[in-house]
Structure 1
């Protein structure tokens, strides 16, 4: 789905013919020729952009000419998108969205470390009833990446991406729960905290294990904004997403609940986690499906008008 940029050197006697044949390819855009641009060899330079799907056919065409020398083939990045048409920019956006989702769907050492550290911070926030630490844990938490990858997998109907994202997301939560539960048991044995620190009044962090309709609504808004921010590369908006959802704090509270044997804390925390993940996924999937539908409608409109080859 990507867009490729090509640059070739061609002899002046053949440049007109090569230019004409490239111009006849519907997927070619931004086609231009610079006569005598290669001064030493008195060669012309032809540059153009083409969809990745049509690249092979284009290369076959170029192979017919012995005096055409390919100098550059590279994917067009976001920083180059000003040179593209609106359709090409949309195509490039979806290609980058899928590539980013593929990368985010894999469980890595970095992901594991970050989610464990985030849940440790969340557990400490619960024990100290610190709202500031809750926010810090949310920011450190990396779990929105596989959530976004999961939404993308559903939108693109990529089964392997869906499965991998689910494994990374819930595998990370499971890893963090196990590690922090063990650490909490050790801390409890050493007398660093008591069950009352978890079960007592916590005006700043009590909301973590008490989900309600607002938890779901916040997660829905966060999921929609998060996916939109990824699509439009608005990284600053993602910070708001991270500190809105209560996934990481819920895992921290769950681990403490297991350590002290409180079924109420465990059930409430697990419910909060599921509600937040569900809200983000539903909103993210709907947002991407709407965007995909609008993109397809635009593509069909271009095809109907003859501006885009079918």
Structure 2
């Protein structure tokens, strides 16, 4: 897997940046356009390299304060036909699909964790769907609510914040969760409160409904499913496989549990409300804990792989000279 970097730097930094790019393992091509940048004035440097080498090169460029004096842009070309690129990919440590570009992960999760009107709208709509599925004993509506819910974004951002100690990102994610869920639950409670006197469902609707019983009966598998979903979700973020997130959304009962709490409180079913609240808590904790574990594992692996590759290359060069 090949990546492309576009680096904008002032002329006095160009030589240092070029040396940094040339010496990076996994680089296939380096080109320079002197004076091509107008605002700010400077040079444009393009680098074609293996995706698994991007993180180390970005770290070295940041050490040169390139991001303060210019910019670093990362692109993923759809198709690159080059023997040099293939050779660079083979020499780079690890696999491109497993490579973590930490700034990319932070930016992606950060964008998904903002408390925006669209985020609130999706969470309210998802909780309303869950409440309808609960009172109508409709599994389809509950699954639809799981798919619509946007809560994984802030949960993933919270995990990234804990691992990378980006406390501003963590506060933003916690705000999105701490405000989003109560607002959505209040909206669901209000509609449930209006629906009972209108005769849309009876007050004893929660006495039946075997299809939704799992929501307020948390057990060991509740936490296990949350951990598996959190692992799969963070892997999909790292590997840029957004299609896998749909399965993650459908597998966890965060939104259905929030909807059940709202309906149960309105109907006076406090024990069931407590059970569903516990289900919600287990899901949130399990997802974040699993995502943190995945990020810690990848950080450990991505640090050790380049060191092992450098030792292997030194050993090969020693044998060649011998």
TM-score (norm 2): 0.74
How far off is 1:209 after superposition?
Answer: 0.9
Give 1:145's aligned residue.
153
The question of whether the paired residues in 2 share the 8 Å contact of 1:3 and 1:52 is answered with no
Give 1:63's aligned residue.
none
Q: Judging changes above 3 Å, is the alpha-carbon distance between structure 1 residues 301 and 196 closer, same or farther for their aligned structure 2 residues?
A: same
Give 1:62's aligned residue.
none
Q: Judging changes above 3 Å, is the alpha-carbon distance between structure 1 residues 288 and 56 closer, same or farther for their aligned structure 2 residues?
A: closer
Give 1:219's aligned residue.
226
Q: Judging changes above 3 Å, is the alpha-carbon distance between structure 1 residues 139 and 24 closer, same or farther for their aligned structure 2 residues?
A: closer
1:48 equivalenced with 2:47 (yes/no): yes
- Give distance in 2, aligned partners of 1:254 and 1:149: 25
1:75 equivalenced with 2:73 (yes/no): yes
1:100 equivalenced with 2:71 (yes/no): no
Give 2:320's aligned residue.
none
- Name the SS of the counterpart of 1:163 in structure 2: helix
CA-based RMSD of the aligned residues comes to 3.6
Give 1:189's aligned residue.
197
What residue ranges of structure 2 are gaps of 5+ in the alignment? 33-43, 49-56, 315-322
Q: Judging changes above 3 Å, is the alpha-carbon distance between structure 1 residues 214 and 47 closer, same or farther for their aligned structure 2 residues?
A: closer
> For residues 159-308 of structure 1, what are the structure 2 equivalents within 5 Å?
159-198=167-206, 200-301=207-308
Give 2:35's aligned residue.
none
How far off is 1:264 after superposition?
Answer: 1.0
- Name the SS of the counterpart of 1:79 in structure 2: coil
- Give distance in 2, aligned partners of 1:295 and 1:81: 25
Q: Judging changes above 3 Å, is the alpha-carbon distance between structure 1 residues 153 and 213 closer, same or farther for their aligned structure 2 residues?
A: same
How far off is 1:74 after superposition?
Answer: 5.7
How far off is 1:52 after superposition?
Answer: 6.4
> For residues 107-146 of structure 1, what are the structure 2 equivalents within 5 Å?
107-146=115-154
The question of whether the paired residues in 2 share the 8 Å contact of 1:3 and 1:92 is answered with no
Q: What's the CA shift string for 1:206-229, capped at 9, x where partnerless?
A: 111111111111111111011111
Q: What's the CA shift string for 1:45-96, capped at 9, x where partnerless?
A: 974366365278597xxxxxxxxxxxx9761223379757546967762221
How far off is 1:192 after superposition?
Answer: 1.9
- Name the SS of the counterpart of 1:284 in structure 2: helix
* Structure number with larger C-alpha Rg: 1
The question of whether the paired residues in 2 share the 8 Å contact of 1:30 and 1:47 is answered with no
- Give distance in 2, aligned partners of 1:99 and 1:110: 18
How far off is 1:236 after superposition?
Answer: 2.2
What residue ranges of structure 1 are gaps of 5+ in the alignment? 11-17, 35-44, 60-71
How far off is 1:6 after superposition?
Answer: 4.4
The question of whether the paired residues in 2 share the 8 Å contact of 1:152 and 1:288 is answered with yes
- Give distance in 2, aligned partners of 1:261 and 1:153: 38
1:4 equivalenced with 2:12 (yes/no): no
Q: Judging changes above 3 Å, is the alpha-carbon distance between structure 1 residues 142 and 47 closer, same or farther for their aligned structure 2 residues?
A: closer
The question of whether the paired residues in 1 share the 8 Å contact of 2:17 and 2:61 is answered with no
Q: Judging changes above 3 Å, is the alpha-carbon distance between structure 1 residues 149 and 87 closer, same or farther for their aligned structure 2 residues?
A: farther
* Alignment match of 1:22 (pick from 7, 18, 23): 18
TM-score (norm 1): 0.77
- Give distance in 1, aligned partners of 2:46 and 2:230: 40
